[in-house]
C-alpha cells in the first residue's frame, strides 16, 4: 500500500494505482478531469493532458517535487507522494489552456449535437474553461465521412482521444479505423473508404467523450435530458456481451440503448450491436428500474428515481390518497 | 589546433572500408573490451569519461547505462538514434557516411558493455545512401568476425541491424523511435516506464545518439580519465558542431568543449567570421529547438564572462540570458536577418512535425505558426505578441514528449530578446514586410 496526500487529504491506495484513480477513491470535485483516459481500455490516457497535476513531493524516499506537471491518469503513486490538483494555481491555469486548445477546432454546435448533455468536453469547459477564446485563425473542417449504417463520424468534433481506436483494438479482431495524419491534421479515419461494422463497433459511440461518434439510429430523435433511462437486461446469445444495458425511453418508445456507465462516464461492461441497435422493444428486455443518474448531470433534470412528495399538491389530494401516502411515505423532495 | 578524437582520420581515402579503417587503429576497442575487460568495467570507463549524450539532452551516458534493468534471462537492447533531423543539425549524417566503421565499432563495444545481443541503428529514412554505407560496413564487420556469433572467440554474440524510419522528426524522440522500430506509428510513449526498464519490445533498452556511441571506442582505447581531461568542468571530451547560416566557413567542426563562442565564430580554425563582413545579430547554438540568443548574450554571459562552448556556459542564466548546447546545431544570423520570419520558419517545421497525440502540442504548434504567419505577412495586431508568448507557455512542459518545448522555446526566446522587432511588424507592417527590410532599431518604435 502507498500513502499519498491529494489536495491535503491523505489516502491509502494499493501500489501501482495511478494518481487519478487514487483521487477517485476520495471522489467529489477534487477528481481531475479525464478526456482520454478510460479505465476499461488498456493503454489509454496521457494524451489530452486535462488531468495534469503537480507533484509537490515525489515520494517519502525522494521528496523532491517533480519538475513538470504530470498526467495523473498514467503516473503511478509512490508512498509519501504529495499531489496538488485543485490547490495548485498552476494546474488550474494549465487546465484553462487545455480547454482553450481543445476548443480551437471543436465546434460549439452543442445545440444540434447528440452528445449534448452527456459530453465530457462540455462539462470540462464548463468547469475549467473561460467564456472567450483568443483564437482568430481559420479552423479546420471536414467533408462528411460515411463509416457505415450504424455510426456517424463527425470529424470536426473529434478531440483525438484515441479511445475509439483502443476500443476497436481491444474488443474486436479486426480494427478498420485509426488515426491518420499528423499534428492538427490528424484525424480518425478508415484510410481506404471502409465501414465499421463488427459486432462490438457500437461501443465506440459509448467511449467517445464528445459527439464525434454518434448513434445513427438515435441522431436528432431527442435531447437526452428529455429521455428516461431505465436499467434492463436480456440473455444475449453473444458470449462477449454482458446483456446489461440502459434503455432510454421517450414515452413508451425506446429511442436508444447504451451500455451502463459508472459515475466517471466509463462503461462498466461492453454490449454487442444486436443489443444496442436491434433490440428496441420493451418486450426484448427484463426491466430493472430507473438508472441512477448523478444529480450534477443535466439528464437528472427530468429524472426521478422515487416518487416526489410535493406539499402544495398534497393539499388538493382526496383524503383517501393522503391516507395512502401517510401509510407509504414517499421520498420528500430535497431529502 | 584542438584535438580530433572522432574525426582524426575522416579525410583518409577509403576510411569507410574495413581494411583502411582497421589499418588506422579501427576496432581496437572491441578487441580490448572483449578480451581484457568485463562489461561493467567498460561501463565504468564511460562513467569516468563524463561523456554526456550528444543528441541534445546532455544526460551523462555512463549513468544512463547504469540505469539499465538487468533481469535474468531477459534480452536487452542497444538502439542507436540516427534519426537526426533537427533544423541546423547535420553532424551525425557526416559521421556515418564518412566513418561508418566508427559507429559499428562503437555499437559493438557499447552492446558488449550493456549485455545486448541484438542492437539496432535506427536511421532516418531519407538517408538511404547512408543506410547503404552502414549496411556495407556491417557486412564487412560480420565477415571479419567482429559481429555475429562468438566475436573474436570471446563467447560474446551480437547481431546488428540498420532500420530505416519513415522520415518523421518525432521519431528522433527515443520512445517514438522505439514505437516506430516496433513497426507502429511513431507516437511518443508516456514515461514512466522509461526505456531502461521497458523499452524495445517492452525489454530494457538504452537509446544513444550516433555521436555518443562513436565516442565510446575512444574512451575504451584511451581510458575514461584521459577523455575527461579534455573539456571544461562537466563538459568533457570533444563535440561535433554543425555550423551553418551566415558564416564564412559553415561546416562540421570537432571542437574540444570549452572553446569560447567568439573564437568558434571568428577564428580561421573554425567558422572564419560572419559572411560579407556583416555584423552578427543572433545565434541558435544547439539546433532550432533551443532558445535564440542575441549577439551580446551569445558572446558573453549576462555577467560579462566569455561564453564557452560547454553545456554549462551556454545555459548560464537559464533561459532568460542563456540557451543550450543541444545537439550542436549552430545557426548564425547576420544583421539583415528578420527574426520574425526566422521564428515563423522554425514554427512551420514544428507544426508540421507534431505527431498530434497530445492536445497542447497538436493544437498549439499550429496556433503559433498561424500567428507568426500573420505577423510576418503584415497582418498582425497589438494582441498577437502576448498571445504568442502565452500559447508558447501553455505548450511548454505540458506535453507527452519534448517536441512541445522544442516548438515553444524558439518562440518564447525570440519574443524575449527581439520583442521590438515583433512590435515593428505590427506597427509598420508595410515597411517590415517589404522584401529585404531590415529592422531599423528601437528608435523607430519610440
The pLDDT tens digits along chain B (446 residues) read 789 999 999 999 999 999 999 999 999 999 999 999 999 999 999 999 999 999 988 999 999 999 999 998 999 999 999 999 999 999 999 999 999 999 999 999 999 999 999 999 999 999 999 999 999 999 999 999 999 999 999 999 999 999 999 999 999 999 999 999 999 999 999 998 999 999 999 999 999 999 999 999 999 999 999 999 999 999 999 999 999 999 999 999 999 999 999 999 999 999 999 999 999 999 999 999 999 999 999 999 999 999 999 999 999 999 999 999 999 999 999 999 999 999 999 999 999 999 999 999 999 999 999 999 999 999 999 999 999 999 999 999 999 999 999 999 999 999 999 999 999 999 999 999 888 889 988 777 76
What is the total residue count of chain B?
446
In sign, the C-alpha dihedral spanning B10, B12, B14, B19 is negative
Query: How far apart are the C-alpha atoms of A198 and A149, rounded to whole Å?
Result: 12
Identify the band that residue A333 occupies on the pLDDT scale cut at 50, 70 and 90: very low
Torsional class of B378: left (φ above 0), alpha (ψ -120 to 50), beta (otherwise): left
Grid cell of A256 as nine digits: 436508444
Q: Indicate yes or no: CB of A49 within 8 angstroms of CB of B360.
A: yes
Mutation target to probe the B interface, by most B beta carbons within 10 A, among A67, A97, A140 is A97
Distance in Å, alpha carbon of A216 to nearest chain B alpha carbon: 28
Q: Which regions of A118-252 does DSSP assign to beta strands (E)? A: 145-146, 151-153, 178-180, 187-189, 213-215, 228-233, 244-250
Query: How far apart are the C-alpha atoms of B244 and B347, rounded to whole Å?
Result: 19
Choose among A101, A134, A181: nearest Cβ to B387.
Answer: A134
Q: Indicate yes or no: CB of A101 within 8 angstroms of CB of B360.
A: yes
Grid cell of A103 as nine digits: 476548443
Contact map slice: B 189-218 vs A, CB within 8 A:
190, 192
Identify the band that residue A335 occupies on the pLDDT scale cut at 50, 70 and 90: very low
Grid cell of A302 as nine digits: 427530468
Residue A229: beta bridge partners?
A248
Question: Which residue reads 567498460 in cell numbers?
Answer: B42
Choose among B192, B355, B360: nearest Cβ to A98.
Answer: B360
Q: Under a CB-based contact definition with an 8 Å cutoff, are residues B367 and A134 in contact?
A: no
Classify residue B187 by burial, with Cβ atoms within 10 Å: 0-12, 13-18, 19+. buried
Per CB distance under 8 Å, which residues of A are interface residues toward B? 45-50, 52, 68-69, 71, 74-76, 94, 97-98, 100-102, 104-105, 134-135, 137-138, 159-160, 162, 178-179, 181-186
pLDDT at A317 over 80: no
Calculate what percentage of chain A has a pLDDT beyond 70: 91
Grid cell of B186 as nine digits: 511513431
Under 8 Å CB-to-CB from B55, ≥6 apart: which residues? Answer: B81, B172, B208, B209, B211, B212, B327
Q: For B90, list phi and psi in degrees, rounded to 5.
A: -150, 30
Grid cell of B436 as nine digits: 529585404
Residues of chain B neighbouring A159 (CB-CB closer than 8 A)? 359
**Is residue B256 within a helix (H) or strand (E), and if so which, with residue range?**
strand B251-256
Distance in Å, alpha carbon of B86 to nearest chain A alpha carbon: 17
DSSP string for residues in A97-135: HHHHHHTTSS---GGG-TTTTS-HHHHHHHHH--S----
* 3-class DSSP state of A239: coil
Classify residue B85 by burial, with Cβ atoms within 10 Å: 0-12, 13-18, 19+. buried
Choose among B190, B367, B371: nearest Cβ to A104.
Answer: B367
Q: Under a CB-based contact definition with an 8 Å cutoff, are residues A82 and A26 in contact?
A: no
pLDDT at A334 over 50: no
Q: For B299, list phi and psi in degrees, rounded to 5.
A: -85, -30
Q: Under a CB-based contact definition with an 8 Å cutoff, are residues B375 and B384 in contact?
A: yes
Counted across chains A and B, CB pairs separated by less than 8 A come out at: 97
Residue B321 confidence (pLDDT): 95
How do beta strands A151-153 and A145-146 pair?
A: antiparallel
Would the pTM of this model clear 0.95, i.e. be above it? no
Question: Which residue reads 466509463 in cell numbers?
Answer: A266
Mutation target to probe the B interface, by most B beta carbons within 10 A, among A99, A106, A183, A185 is A183
Query: How far apart are the C-alpha atoms of A333 and A47, rounded to whole Å?
Result: 42
Within 10 angstroms of residue A323's Cβ, the number of other Cβ atoms is 10
Distance in Å, alpha carbon of B396 to nearest chain A alpha carbon: 9
Q: Under a CB-based contact definition with an 8 Å cutoff, are residues B91 and B212 in contact?
A: no
Mutation target to probe the A interface, by most A beta carbons within 10 A, among B194, B363, B405 is B363
Amino acid at each position: 500500500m502507498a500513502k499519498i496526500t491529494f489536495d491535503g487529504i491523505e489516502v491509502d491506495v494499493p501500489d501501482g494505482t495511478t494518481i487519478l484513480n487514487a483521487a477517485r477513491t476520495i471522489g467529489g470535485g477534487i477528481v481531475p478531469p479525464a478526456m482520454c483516459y478510460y479505465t476499461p481500455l488498456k493503454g489509454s490516457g496521457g494524451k489530452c493532458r486535462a488531468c495534469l497535476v503537480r507533484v509537490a513531493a515525489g515520494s517519502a524516499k525522494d521528496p523532491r517535487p517533480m519538475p513538470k506537471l504530470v498526467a495523473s491518469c498514467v503516473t503511478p503513486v509512490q508512498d509519501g507522494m504529495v499531489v496538488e490538483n485543485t490547490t495548485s494555481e498552476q494546474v488550474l491555469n494549465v487546465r484553462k489552456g487545455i480547454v482553450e486548445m481543445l476548443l480551437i477546432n471543436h465546434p460549439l454546435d452543442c445545440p444540434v449535437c447528440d452528445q449534448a448533455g452527456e459530453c465530457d468536453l462540455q462539462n470540462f469547459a464548463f468547469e475549467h474553461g473561460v467564456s472567450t477564446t483568443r483564437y482568430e485563425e481559420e479552423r479546420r473542417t471536414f467533408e462528411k465521412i460515411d463509416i457505415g449504417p450504424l455510426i456517424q463520424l463527425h470529424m470536426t468534433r473529434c478531440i483525438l482521444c484515441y479511445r475509439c481506436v483502443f476500443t476497436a483494438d481491444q474488443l474486436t479482431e479486426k480494427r478498420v479505423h485509426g488515426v491518420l495524419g499528423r499534428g492538427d491534421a490528424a484525424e480518425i479515419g478508415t484510410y481506404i473508404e471502409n465501414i465499421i461494422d463488427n459486432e462490438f463497433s457500437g461501443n465506440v459511440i459509448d467511449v467517445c467523450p464528445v459527439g464525434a461518434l454518434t448513434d445513427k439510429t438515435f441522431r436528432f430523435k431527442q435531447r437526452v435530458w428529455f429521455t428516461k433511462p431505465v436499467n434492463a437486461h436480456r440473455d444475449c446469445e453473444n458470449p462477449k456481451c454482458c446483456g446489461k444495458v440502459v434503455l432510454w425511453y421517450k414515452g413508451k418508445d425506446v429511442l436508444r440503448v447504451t451500455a451502463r456507465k459508472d459515475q466517471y462516464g466509463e462503461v462498466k461492461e461492453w454490449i454487442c450491436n444486436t443489443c444496442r441497435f436491434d433490440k428496441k422493444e420493451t418486450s426484448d428486455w427484463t426491466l430493472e428500474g430507473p438508472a441512477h443518474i448523478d444529480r450534477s448531470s443535466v439528464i437528472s433534470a427530468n429524472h426521478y428515481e422515487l416518487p416526489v412528495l410535493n406539499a402544495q399538491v398534497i393539499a388538493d389530494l382526496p383524503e383517501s390518497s393522503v391516507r395512502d401516502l401517510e401509510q407509504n411515505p414517499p421520498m420528500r423532495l430535497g431529502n | 589546433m584542438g584535438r580530433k578524437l572522432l574525426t582524426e582520420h575522416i579525410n583518409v581515402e577509403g576510411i569507410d572500408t574495413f581494411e583502411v579503417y582497421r589499418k588506422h587503429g579501427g576496432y581496437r576497442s572491441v578487441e580490448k573490451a572483449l578480451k581484457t575487460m568485463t562489461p561493467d568495467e567498460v561501463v565504468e570507463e564511460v562513467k569516468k569519461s563524463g561523456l554526456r549524450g550528444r543528441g541534445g539532452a546532455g544526460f551523462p551516458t555512463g549513468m544512463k547505462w547504469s540505469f539499465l534493468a538487468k533481469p535474468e534471462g531477459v534480452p536487452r537492447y542497444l538502439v542507436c538514434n540516427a534519426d537526426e533531423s533537427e533544423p541546423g543539425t547535420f553532424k551525425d549524417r557526416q559521421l556515418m557516411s564518412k566513418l561508418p566503421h566508427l559507429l559499428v565499432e562503437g555499437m559493438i563495444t557499447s552492446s558488449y558493455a550493456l549485455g545486448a545481443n541484438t542492437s539496432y541503428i535506427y536511421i532516418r529514412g531519407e538517408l538511404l545512401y547512408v543506410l547503404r554505407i552502414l549496411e556495407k560496413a556491417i557486412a564487412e564487420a560480420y565477415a571479419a568476425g567482429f559481429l555475429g556469433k562468438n566475436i573474436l572467440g570471446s563467447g560474446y554474440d551480437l547481431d546488428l541491424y540498420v532500420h530505416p524510419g519513415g522520415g518523421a522528426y518525432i521519431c528522433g524522440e527515443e520512445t517514438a523511435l522505439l514505437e516506430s522500430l516496433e513497426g507502429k506509428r511513431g507516437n511518443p510513449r508516456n514515461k514512466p516506464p522509461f526505456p531502461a526498464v521497458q523499452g524495445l519490445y517492452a525489454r530494457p533498452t538504452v537509446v544513444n545518439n550516433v555521436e555518443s556511441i562513436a565516442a565510446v571506442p575512444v574512451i575504451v582505447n584511451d581510458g575514461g580519465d584521459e577523455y575527461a581531461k579534455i573539456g571544461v568542468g562537466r563538459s568533457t571530451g570533444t563535440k561535433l558542431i554543425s555550423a551553418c547560416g551566415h558564416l564564412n566557413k559553415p561546416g562540421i567542426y570537432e571542437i574540444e568543449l570549452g572553446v569560447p563562442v567568439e573564437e568558434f565564430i571568428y577564428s580561421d580554425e573554425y567558422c572564419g567570421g560572419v559572411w560579407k563582413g556583416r555584423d552578427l545579430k543572433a545565434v541558435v547554438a544547439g539546433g532550432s529547438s533551443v532558445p535564440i540568443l542575441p549577439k551580446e548574450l551569445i558572446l558573453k554571459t549576462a555577467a560579462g564572462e566569455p561564453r564557452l562552448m560547454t553545456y554549462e556556459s551556454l545555459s548560464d542564466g537559464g533561459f532568460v540570458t542563456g540557451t543550450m548546447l543541444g545537439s550542436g546545431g549552430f545557426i548564425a544570423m547576420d544583421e539583415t536577418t528578420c527574426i520574425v520570419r526566422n521564428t515563423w520558419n522554425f514554427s512551420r517545421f514544428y507544426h508540421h512535425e507534431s505527431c498530434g497525440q497530445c492536445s497542447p502540442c497538436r493544437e498549439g504548434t499550429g496556433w503559433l505558426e498561424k500567428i507568426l504567419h500573420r505577423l510576418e505577412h503584415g497582418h498582425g495586431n497589438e494582441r498577437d505578441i502576448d498571445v504568442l508568448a502565452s500559447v508558447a507557455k501553455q505548450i511548454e512542459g505540458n506535453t507527452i514528449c519534448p517536441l512541445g518545448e522544442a516548438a515553444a522555446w524558439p518562440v518564447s526566446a525570440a519574443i524575449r530578446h527581439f520583442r521590438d522587432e515583433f512590435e515593428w511588424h505590427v506597427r509598420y507592417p508595410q515597411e517590415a514586410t517589404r522584401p529585404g527590410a531590415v529592422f531599423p532599431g528601437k528608435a523607430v518604435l519610440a
